[in-house]
């Protein structure tokens, strides 16, 4: 090859690299590059408890705005118990109450028989799948099971076994709260796509809608003498973990939270991988990362778990998000109130360390 030919070849390669580099055709690479310069205007950087509390006040107001806000005047709950069942060690009520105009919430209240007095209670939120039945031991035929099957492992029952009441609610667009078209497609199909899209059209979010249902659930708990509204926790996996994190960040009545299969960085999960529309909060990266949302829960106890094989919420993102969250708890002087576990499984509820961690705090208040 002559020097001229070599020069022309080098020039052509340089032109190709300049005009059509692979990274410039990749929207995920572009998004991750954008994340490097995301404003994150309210990212945590406090060094004292007083500064941390001031930061929380500002971010909580902004977060409420970002998820679309909540009704200024809550409607009457109008609760009704539509079924009661008795089991060996607990009772289960099927309850419906009004969350907002033209929208009701359905849930199961499980109470252990062996514990007297007003019970501490966990609000339990399932992730994508069959819905609330799948966390209270009801199989896909409507029968009661005993093997804690499925990726959600009947986690509401796990808290009942710890001596807590569990109020397991059906998230909007899952299970009993789906539109007829999607419900007809199968038991595991959801209504997230039309519903989350509709929320965005109204300038709101599915995260906001579901978090508000948790808040109204606590309003209902406050009406029950057999439940202790001063000892309320919240727990969820996957989409239920999303709801738990945001609801606990926004409603300080929640005294302890457990997030399974969600805590991460927005960069490594929601921004980089295909997720359901119900995960998105427009503009949030202008203000905060996921760890900042988690930091709004401090100094209240928070436990986060993930699986080594979780491909939806990658381990590296969990470790980074947990490290940043831990800094908030350290500034508050309560590092022990933030617990984590990495289990060997995939995207599943584990609970080995997290369930007793949360139960211990709620029973000790």
Residues 82 and 107 in one domain: yes
Same domain, 121 and 139: yes
Residues 112 and 7 in one domain: no
Do residues 33 and 63 share a domain? no
Q: How many domains, in total, are found in the chain?
A: 2
Structural domain of 19: 1-37
Q: Which of 154, 133, 174, 136 is nearest to 278 (CA)?
A: 174
* Per-residue pLDDT, 12: 47
Is 104 found in the same domain as 153? yes
Same domain for 121 and 14: no
For 96, the enclosing helix (H) or strand (E) is: strand 90-100
| 216 and 248 within one domain | yes
Whether residues 22 and 120 share a domain: the answer is: no
In this structure, the answer to whether residues 14 and 87 fall within a common structural domain is no
Residues 299 and 200 reside in one and the same domain = yes
pLDDT in tens, the chain (365 residues): 554 444 445 544 444 445 556 768 999 999 999 999 999 999 999 999 999 999 999 999 999 999 999 999 999 999 999 999 999 999 999 999 999 999 999 999 999 999 999 999 999 999 999 999 999 999 999 999 989 989 999 999 999 999 999 999 999 999 999 999 999 999 999 999 999 999 999 999 999 999 999 999 999 999 999 999 999 999 999 999 999 999 999 999 999 999 999 999 999 999 999 999 999 999 999 999 999 999 999 999 999 999 999 999 999 999 999 999 999 999 999 999 999 999 999 999 999 999 999 999 999 98
| pTM, 2 dp | 0.93
Could you write out the DSSP letters of every residue in 224-288? -TTEEEEEEEEEEETHHHHHHHHHHHH-TTEEEEEEES--S-TTTTTTTS---GGG--TTGGGT-
Same domain for 264 and 137: yes
Predicted confidence at residue 4, as pLDDT, reads 45
């Amino acid at each position: 090859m002559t020097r001229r030919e070599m020069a022309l070849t080098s020039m052509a390669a340089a032109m190709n690299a300049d005009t059509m580099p692979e990274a410039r055709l990749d929207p995920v690479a572009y998004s991750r590059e954008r994340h490097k310069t995301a404003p994150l205007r309210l990212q945590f950087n406090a060094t004292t408890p007083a500064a941390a509390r001031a930061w929380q006040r500002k971010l909580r107001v902004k977060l409420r705005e970002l998820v679309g806000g909540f009704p200024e005047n809550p409607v009457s709950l109008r609760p009704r118990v539509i079924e009661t069942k008795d089991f060996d060690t607990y009772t289960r009520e099927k309850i419906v109450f009004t969350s907002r105009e033209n929208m009701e919430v359905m849930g199961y209240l499980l109470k252990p028989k062996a514990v007297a007095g007003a019970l501490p209670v966990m609000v339990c939120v399932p992730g994508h799948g069959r819905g609330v039945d799948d966390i209270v031991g009801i199989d896909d035929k409507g029968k009661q099971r005993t093997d804690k099957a499925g990726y959600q492992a009947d986690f509401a029952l796990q808290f009942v076994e710890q001596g807590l009441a569990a109020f397991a609610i059906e998230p909007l667009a899952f299970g009993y709260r789906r539109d007829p078209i999607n419900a007809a497609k199968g038991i595991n199909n959801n209504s997230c796509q039309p519903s989350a899209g509709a929320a965005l059209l109204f300038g709101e979010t599915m995260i906001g809608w579901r978090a508000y249902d948790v808040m109204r659930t606590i309003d209902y708990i406050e009406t029950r003498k057999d439940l202790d509204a001063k000892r309320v926790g919240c727990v969820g996996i996957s989409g239920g973990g999303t709801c738990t994190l945001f609801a606990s960040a926004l409603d300080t009545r929640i005294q302890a939270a457990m997030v399974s299969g969600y805590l991460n960085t927005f960069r490594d999960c929601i921004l980089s991988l295909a997720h359901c529309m119900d995960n998105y909060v427009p503009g949030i990266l202008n203000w905060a990362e996921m760890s900042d949302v988690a930091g709004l829960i401090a100094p209240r106890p928070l436990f986060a778990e993930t699986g080594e094989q979780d491909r939806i919420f990658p381990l590296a993102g969990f470790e980074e998000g947990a490290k940043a969250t831990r800094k908030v708890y350290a500034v508050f002087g309560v590092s022990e109130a933030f617990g984590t576990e990495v289990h060997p499984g995939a995207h599943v509820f584990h609970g080995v360390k997290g369930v007793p961690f949360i139960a211990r705090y709620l029973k000790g208040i």
